[in-house]
Amino acid sequence: MAEVLLRVKGLKVAYGGIQAVKGVDFEVRQGELVSLIGSNGAGKTTTMKAITGTLELAGGDIEYLGQSIRGLGAWDLVKKGLAMVPEGRGVFTRMTITENLQMGAHIRRDKAGIVADMDKVFTIFPRLKERRDQLAGTMSGGEQQMLAMGRALMSRPKLLLLDEPSMGLSPIMVDKIFEVVREVYDQGVTILLVEQNAARALQIADRGYVMESGVITMSGQAKAMLDDPKVRAAYLGE
C-alpha cells in the first residue's frame, strides 16, 4: 500500500468558545486524490487552515510524511512539499502573472528547473501564457484561480491542498478547473480537495470524506459514495 502522506488524528479547532472541528480523523496516501465534502459551515476550511498552520489546534495532531507538523508555519510546510491554494485564491493583484508564478518558486534555487516548471504551468494553463505580462488583479475569478493553482505548483508540491477551487465561478470555468485538477493529479501530484460541489469532487476523486458540523460522518471510495442514497439525498439534490 502507498505511504500515508497526511494523517489527521483527533483534530479539534475552536473559534472563541465554539468548537468548529470536533475530533476529526482522516488520511491521504501518496498518489491519491481525496475529496473532503460537506455543506457551508461544516468545518472544511477550518480543517485546511489547521493543517497549514494558520489556525491553532485545540486538540489532536497532524502528521505529514510521518512527522507531526503541529505548530509549523506555512513557510516551513512549503519547504517540506505541502502547498495550499486557499479559498478566495489570494493572488498578488499588483504583480503580473509571471511575477506571481515566480513567487510560487521563491524557496527554490534551481533556475533551469524553475523555467521548465513555468513552461509546464503555461502548458496546463494556456490562458495564463497568453496574458503572462498582465496584472493579476485585472483577471477574472476563474483566471485568478488558475493562477493560484499554477503558483502552488511552482513550489513542486508532494501534496497540494485545494480549498473550494470552484467557488463563485461560472459553470464553464468550473468545468475547466475540475479538468485541470484532474490533469495535475494525473501528472503525479497527490491532492486533498475541499469542495462544496460534492458531485464534481467525487467524480474525480479516489476516496471521499463527508464532513458535517465539525465531524466526519462518512468515508469511502468516491465512486461508491456517488451511488450512496444518503450522499445523493444530502449533497446531490436527489
Report DSSP letters for 107-159, one per residue.
Answer: T---HHHHHHHHHHHHHH-HHHHHTTTSBGGGS-HHHHHHHHHHHHHTT--SE
pLDDT single digits (tens) 110-166: 999 999 999 999 999 999 999 999 999 999 998 999 999 999 999 999 999 999 999
User: Is 23 contained in some domain?
Assistant: no
Give tens-digit pLDDT for 165-180: 998 899 999 999 999 9
> Which triple of cell numbers denotes residue 169?
465561478
| pLDDT greater at residue 89 or residue 84 | 84
Query: 6 in a domain, yes or no?
Result: no
Q: Is residue 143 part of a domain?
A: yes
68 located within any domain? no
Percent of the chain at pLDDT above 90? 77
With a cut of 70, say whether residue 238 has pLDDT above it.
no
Residue 13 lies in a domain: no
Q: Of 130, 131, 129, 111, which is closest to residue 120 (Cα–Cα)?
A: 129
Tell me how many domains the chain contains.
1
**How confident is the model at residue 163, as a pLDDT?**
94
Q: What is the pLDDT of residue 237?
A: 66
Q: In which domain, by residue range, is 164 found?
A: 31-42+73-235
CATH classification of the domain holding 208: 3.40.50.300
Confirm whether 173 is domain-assigned: yes
Task: Give me the half-sphere count of Cα atoms (radius 13 Å) on the Cβ side of residue 203.
Answer: 10
pTM score: 0.92
Assigned domain for 154 exists: yes
Residue-wise pLDDT tens digits, 184-211: 999 899 999 999 889 999 999 999 999 9
Section 85-97 average pLDDT: 88
Rounded-to-integer distance, Cα 96 and Cα 130, Å: 12
Of residues 174 and 89, more confidently modeled:
174
Strand-by-strand arrangement of the 4-15 sheet: 18-29, 4-15, 59-64, 67-68
98 belongs to a structural domain = yes
Q: Distance between CA 100 and CA 34 in Å, rounded? A: 27
Query: pLDDT by residue (tens digit) across 10-51?
Result: 999 998 888 999 999 999 999 999 999 998 889 999 999 999
